[in-house]
């Protein structure tokens, strides 16, 4: 017996042409990412800054010591990056000059300024060979039978987990880049956080920054609120790399198995989105034990991405891309409010509130 004929709705002519254009965009978006990586590797944002904030193609070619016969190709690269919002353009033809946008300003290197954390490595990390290979292997990973807890595609392919002591054994250069990328990403906006959330620290006399790595956030808190006694708690290999100048205290330990240093407040800043739900509950439970009751002013401060479509299509898409990044490279995820509520409840907390939304992130006060 012949198989039934499969039919499909035929799009209109206009829909067909738009579908093809959308297919081009989605299939070729990786070229925008690679163009951005190229700009960072060449140092284009930093060069524009050093040339006074605006430069022609000829100026940039000369400053970057690029071969003259690459000029038409360089112009095409810049056109794509202008369209993507990486650079601004003014004028046309030989008079066209390229400038920085807010996006490319945070890619400028070698600048000493308050609250400037160059995001150069955040471009290089997610577009590095190991990360791209993990994403390229996504279909095979979905089809593969893997025991729980399910390793990420990165871990399954490379046999190492990001941000752990095993990563340098895979590729020490890549490890250095992704750790610098994480530090730059996590430290961007500290000043905004402290300005927008001053009430968050009102009445807080002691604070433990759990998984606070080298203590950049804790040091910024002490600078803004000198009365707060801050302790950074993280793994020994991270704590051992931290500066010892007496600004903050450092305690080495494993948040899954060691007691979190007690304080009036414990902070988890951009930690939990790297972790599975089960691991989040374990760390949250450890943090809950380290703070006094809500009546005594105890709380856990969670700063992390809060997936929310109401932020608009651009910010929401950025959050979903960050979720895909977590899925491919870690065992973590980005979460909506219901998912955060579930974690807090499962970890034994009685209540929470969203103190502030800052861009794609939210600041939660979670009460024991």
pLDDT along the chain (368 residues), means of 10: 77 95 96 98 98 97 97 97 97 92 96 81 96 97 96 96 89 95 90 92 95 93 95 92 88 93 97 97 97 96 97 97 97 98 98 96 97
Q: What is the distance between the alpha carbons of residues 249 and 134, in angstroms, rounded to a whole number?
A: 38
User: Which sequence positions are flagged as catalytic?
Assistant: 273
How distant, in Å, are the alpha carbons of 87, 126, 154, 251, 348 from that of 325?
24, 8, 10, 30, 29
Of 74, 101, 107, 96, the residue nearest 86 (C-alpha): 101
pLDDT for 196 equals 93
pLDDT for 85 equals 97
HSE on the CB side for 263, CA within 13 Å?
25
pTM: 0.93
Residues 6+ apart with CB under 8 A from 71: 57, 58, 61
pLDDT for 189 equals 86
Structure tokens at 338: 């219901």
pLDDT for 1 equals 58
87-90/97-100 β-pairing: antiparallel
């Amino acid at each position: 017996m012949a198989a039934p004929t499969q039919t499909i709705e035929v799009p209109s002519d206009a829909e067909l042409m738009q579908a093809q254009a959308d297919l081009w965009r989605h299939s070729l978006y990786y070229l925008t990412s690679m163009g951005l990586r190229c700009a960072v590797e060449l140092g284009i944002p930093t060069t524009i800054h050093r040339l006074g904030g605006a430069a022609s193609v000829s100026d940039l070619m000369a400053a970057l010591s690029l071969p003259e016969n690459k000029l038409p190709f360089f112009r095409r690269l810049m056109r794509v990056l202008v369209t993507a919002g990486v650079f601004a353009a003014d004028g046309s033809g030989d008079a066209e000059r390229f400038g920085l946008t807010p996006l490319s300003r945070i890619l400028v290197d070698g600048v000493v300024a308050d609250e400037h954390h160059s995001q150069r490595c955040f471009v290089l990390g997610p577009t590095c060979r190991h990360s791209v290979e993990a994403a390229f292997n996504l279909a095979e990973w979905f089809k593969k039978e893997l025991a729980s807890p399910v390793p990420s595609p990165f871990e399954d392919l490379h046999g190492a987990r990001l941000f752990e002591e095993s990563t340098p054994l895979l590729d020490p250069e890549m490890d250095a880049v992704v750790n610098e990328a994480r530090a730059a990403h996590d430290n961007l906006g500290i000043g905004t956080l402290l300005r927008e959330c001053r009430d968050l620290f009102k009445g807080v006399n002691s604070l433990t920054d759990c998984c606070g790595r080298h203590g950049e956030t804790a040091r910024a808190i002490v600078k803004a609120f000198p009365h707060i006694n801050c302790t950074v708690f993280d793994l020994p290999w991270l704590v051992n790399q931290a500066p010892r100048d007496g600004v903050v205290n450092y305690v080495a330990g494993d948040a899954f198995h060691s007691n979190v240093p007690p304080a009036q407040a414990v902070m988890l800043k951009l930690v939990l989105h790297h972790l599975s739900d089960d691991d989040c509950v374990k760390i949250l439970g450890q943090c809950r034990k380290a703070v006094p009751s809500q009546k005594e002013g105890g709380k856990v401060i969670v700063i992390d991405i809060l997936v929310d479509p109401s932020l608009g299509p651009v910010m929401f898409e950025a959050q979903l891309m960050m979720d895909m990044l977590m899925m491919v490279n870690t065992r973590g995820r980005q979460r909506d409010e219901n998912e955060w509520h579930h974690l807090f409840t499962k970890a034994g907390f009685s209540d929470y509130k969203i103190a502030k939304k800052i861009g794609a992130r939210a600041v939660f006060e979670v009460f024991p």
